[in-house]
Structures are given as C-alpha cells and as structure tokens.
Structure 1
Amino acid sequence: MAIGRKRTKGTTSRPRAKRPGAPSEAEASEAEAEVEVEAAEPEALEPAPEELVEAEAEVGDVEAPVTTSALVPAGESGITRRDPLQAYMAEVTRHPLLTREEEYALAKNYQQTQDVKAAYRLVASNLRLVVKLAHEYHRNPLSLLDLIQEGNIGLMQAVKKYDPDRGVKLSSYAAWWIRAYILRYIMDNWKMVKLGTTEAQRKLFFKLRQEQDKLVAQGFEPSPKLLAERLNVTEQDVVEMDQRLGHDEMSIDAPLGDDSKSTRADRFLPSSAAGAEERLGNEELKELFREKLAEFAQSLEGKERFIFENRLTSDEPLTLQDIGDKYGVSRERARQIEAALINRMRDFMRERIPDFDLVAVPKG
C-alpha cells in the first residue's frame, strides 16, 4: 500500500468553493482546543510530556471504524458501485497493530538508519487512528477521504519526529500531528475566502462561537469588546470573523434571478463611468476651452504663432531642432520660446475659464 500525498482512489480534489450543505456556525467551534492555533503551522507543534501521557490514555489501541455493509469480492461485479471508503478501509485493516516492543524497535531503527521500510510499517499500523480522528472532524461539504489523506500526511510527519525514548506510544504523539494537519485543511477549505491567515484569526476560527455560548450561559452579552478581552484579540478581528463565519460567500457575477441578466455587481457596485451631468459639464468646459484657445492664437505673431500651430496644437509636432533651424536659433532658444508661450497661454486661460485646471488639454 503506497503511503504518501497521492490521493486515495475515489477522493475528490480539494474544494475551492463552499458547496450547498455547508457546516453551521456552531459547528466551527467544535474543533479541539489543543491545536487551536498550531493547526496552521504544524511544524511548530510539539506537545508537552504530560500532555502526551493524557493523550495516550485517550487514544489507546484504536480499532478502525469499518462500515458493516458488505464489499463486492474481487473479480466480481455488483449492482451498486463500490464505496471508495469501504475499499480504503479494507486495505487499512490488512495492516496489523504493532506491540509496544515492535513499535519501539522499528522507531529506533528508523531514528538511527532512516530505514524507509521501518517508517512504512509504523505509518501503516496507525492508519486506523487517522480514520478515527478524521471522523471527529467530518462535516459536509468536506470529504472524509480528503480529511483522512491530510491526516495521513500528519502521521508521516509524526513518524519523522517521533522519539521512542520518551516512553510514549507513537499513536499518542501522532494524534497531535494528525489533528494539526486535518484542522489546517479545514481552515483552508472552509470558505472560498481563506480563513486563519493570522494567529488571531486562527484563534477566533476555533474559539469565537464557543466563547459566545459561554458568555450567554453566564448571563453576559457577547459584545465584540468583551469577546476581544476574553480571547486577547482586537475588536475589529472579532467583528470581521463573526461576519465571515455568519455569512456565505456570494459571487458578484451571479445573476439576480433565473430570467435576469443583471448581476450583483451591476446593482451593488458603483459604476466607474462618469454620470450624465459630469459628462455634460466636461463637454461644456472643453468647448469653452477650444473657443478661448482660438482667441489666444489670434494674439500671436511670428515665431510664437509658428510654434503654437506646428508644435503645441499639431497632431505631428515639429521638433525643437526643426524650429531652431527654421529661424536660425539654437535648440535651447527654441525651447525657451516654447516655455514662455505655454506660461502665457496658461495665464490667459485661467483669467477667462474659472475651472481651467479641471479641463484636459485637447489635441487640435
């Protein structure tokens, strides 16, 4: 049986969008408190010795929760399709549990030699534990097989870091890593917009609804300020997470009705186009600008008139060098004449057009 990140046959790809039948608001708070923050960074997870002792009593020798419905024997066809979860469980149960002595010997061997076969046996013997923990966190629309896959990755990480000399069973230590990877997967796929990108958000994702229920039971109003004090986060974080957990995402491109071509974006998002009054005002200003520009041109003579017509307002303006060659002056002198002409034109317009600075200078 290949153990790795490859998806089990029959699993679906990671969901990117929230599907119908998503978990309720209260279900988000059911995640275990032990890994409420560490779930997004499983590499930083390392339980304390006393916590491992408690976990060992909790986990014990795990038996796989195998479904009771009969499997279709190999080589035979059935009326109904074979359940991929049943097929996976049939494969998992082929791997026997290890005794404490076998587990210690294999873990020690892997720790000293990095023997892949020893790691394989350690992982395979604890696959039942992954299924058990995945069932604890299974909610629609998340696939149970996807949760099992993520838990298997956490199990392999636990095998890499397991120290058999600490006197704790591998299953007790691995439970922390399995939960961490499952919870990280839940946070990444709970909503279309990713949750848990900061430590405060991860804490609120697991604890907000739980803390609200506690305050209500104690007779307090669960205000954002009180919740922020109890959870050691900001009020803004509380408000934002409460809104995100309490509302489903909606596509702004989805039609408003079955027979409607209008979308939410058309109705609720402001248009970037200018309004009718604004467009009309701009056209009036531009027309006034053109009239005053023609009036300014009538007051020019000689070099200035030539520069105005063949450089400032021409679709194909001459270069400064061309103007200098025509009048026998240097390129720099032509630039100075042009700069003085522009300043005169600007002053002329400002005197006659109050909103001149709002008008775009037209070409031609």
Structure 2
Amino acid sequence: MDDKARRSMINAAMAAPYLERAEELELAQRWRNNHDQDAMHRITVAHMRLVISMASRFRHFGLSMGDLIQEGHVGLLEAAARFEPEREVRFSTYATWWIRASMQDYILRNWSIVRGGTSSAQKALFFNLRRLRARLARGDNMLTGPALYKEISSELGVSEADVALMDSRLSSPDSSLNAPMNDEGSGSADRMDFLISDAPLPDEIVGETIDVERRSGWLHKALGVLNDRERQIIAERRLQDEGATLESLGEALGISKERVRQIESRALEKLRVALVSGSSAFLA
C-alpha cells in the first residue's frame, strides 16, 4: 500500500461514524441471518479506526504501517464473519483479538527471514520482551544480564536460553551476506567473502569416501594371495602407524633381518600384481 492509499484509508476511517450499540446489533444480525453485505461493510468501516490504532502499536518492529493496516483489515473481516451478536458482546471487544492476531502473524512471518518459534509462549516472548526488559531495567532494583533473563523467563514461562536467544535476535536486524563490510562502495569486500571454507566440498568428501572403501576392498582381497608369514610381515611393516623394524620381526619369527626383507619384497610384488589385476578388472 503506497502512502497516498494509506492516507486515504486513514482519513476515511477517521471520518466514519461510530455505531451505537443497538445499531451495531442490528447490522450484526442482518449479516448473521441474511448475509447482508452492506451490513458487513458498515460494521467493518466503522471499526477501521481500531485497526489503525492497533497498527500504530506495532510500528517499532520496522514494518510498513500500510501493510500492518491491511493485515489488520483481514483480521477485522474475519471477526465480522464470525461475530455472534446473541452473546451480547460489543463488536470492538471481539474484533480486537482477531485484529491483533492477524498483525502478529504478519510480523512473525516478515520481521526476519529466520523463522522463530510459533508456540503461544514464543509469541508472547517475541511481543513482550522489549516491554518487560524496559520495566525490569528501571528503578532501584534494576535487573540486567542473567538476572533479567531469569525474571522474564519466569513471567512468560519460557527457558532462560530462549529469552537470551530472542534478545539477541531483537537487538540487531537481518544483514545480507552480499552487503559490503564498509561504505567504500563496490570495491569493498562482502560479508560472504569471510565465509569461505577451506574444507573439501561435499562431492569431494563423498568421492574420497568411495575411493577409500574401494581401495580398502582391493587391498583386503589382495592380501589373500599371501601366505601367513608374508601377511604378518606386511601387516607389521606396512599397515601400522609405526612399522616394526626388520630386526624385531626377525627376532619374533626366528629368522635374520635380511630374510625378513626378502620375504617383504616378494610379498609386496605379489600384492602389486594382485592390486593391478583387481583394478583392471574393475575398470573393464
């Protein structure tokens, strides 16, 4: 809604006559019993000043006044459609809840691109945190920090962690990652530039995992061509973080270190042939 349309709506709302209780009841009954559109229109027009008044209470959330009025008008129409005149309640009293609920839902959807909690407790926290914080921060017993969060959490029935999180969200607006870090113009770095990670990309991680599993399978199969002593030497010398020495393996097996080296060399050649054969079969 542009400024001209908003001003026109506000002027029309302020010029609309108030409805006496009897007239309001008659219009509500005409709508309820006969679906008289003119009666519905007169009820809603007469109460648009209520919508405008309530919209002004939510201006500090930084949203367009015109958009708030439009959302409140939706709530007003919903209230008019559901109003039950036989309950003997003034329409303004009934409509207030619907108007407020419609505006609050709009604010929660549009105040931030990060969606907050939608439970009644989270909504109460969102819309009452500033007021409670201001009240508890006044006077001689001024509360701040954890003590403030504890008092607010007790009053609203939410956790202190939720209070702290909501306080941080309300303290600063959303910032675009494409916005420059300073006011120097197009030559300055964007916030996105500082989010670059040196970690591998997801497809690289997946590819490496697949390759490791494939190589492990080939090695396990290739080890099957070795006899027990060859497998033991390869395992002790090549498959440990700290490989055993030729001397220690020779002592354990009762052979010379030169013999251990010869067996290892022969085993490595057998593994090479088996691995080349296995990879060639896979590629084929």
Tell me the TM-score normalised to structure 2 length: 0.63
Give the whole-Å Cα distance in 2 for the aligned partners of 1:185 and 1:115. 29
How far is the alpha carbon of 1:182 from its aligned partner?
A: 1.7
Aligned AA (2:199): S
CA contact (8 A) 1:205 1:241 kept: yes
Stretches of structure 1 that go unaligned for 5 or more consecutive residues are 1-7, 12-82, 275-281, 294-311, 314-338, 356-360
Corresponding residue number in structure 1 for 2:18: 97
Corresponding residue number in structure 2 for 1:248: 173
Corresponding residue number in structure 1 for 2:224: 344
Give the whole-Å Cα distance in 2 for the aligned partners of 1:195 and 1:340. 51
Give the whole-Å Cα distance in 1 for the aligned partners of 2:11 and 2:134. 41
CA distance 1:231–1:108, shift in 2 (3 Å): same
Structure scoring higher RCO (CA < 8 A, sep ≥ 6) equals 1
Q: Report which of the two has the higher share of helix.
A: 2
CA deviations 1:241-287 (Å, max 9, x no partner) are: 1111112222233343435464333324533239xxxxxxx9xxx9x
Corresponding residue number in structure 2 for 1:110: 31
Give the whole-Å Cα distance in 1 for the aligned partners of 2:195 and 2:122. 28
How far is the alpha carbon of 1:341 from its aligned partner?
A: 4.0
- Map 1:127-276; keep pairs closer than 5 Å: 127-139=48-60, 141-217=62-138, 218-223=141-146, 224-257=149-182, 258=185, 260=187, 262-268=189-195, 270-273=197-200
Give the whole-Å Cα distance in 1 for the aligned partners of 2:53 and 2:29. 26
Number of equivalenced pairs = 222
Give the whole-Å Cα distance in 1 for the aligned partners of 2:221 and 2:145. 69
CA distance 1:254–1:93, shift in 2 (3 Å): closer
Tell me the TM-score normalised to structure 1 length: 0.51
CA deviations 1:305-361 (Å, max 9, x no partner) are: xxxxxxx99xxxxxxxxxxxxxxxxxxxxxxxxx99455279697552436xxxxx9
Give the whole-Å Cα distance in 1 for the aligned partners of 2:69 and 2:151. 37
Corresponding residue number in structure 2 for 1:74: none
Stretches of structure 2 that go unaligned for 5 or more consecutive residues are 202-207, 242-274
Give the whole-Å Cα distance in 2 for the aligned partners of 1:140 and 1:263. 26
CA distance 1:94–1:256, shift in 2 (3 Å): closer
Give the whole-Å Cα distance in 2 for the aligned partners of 1:345 and 1:261. 62
Identity score, percent: 32
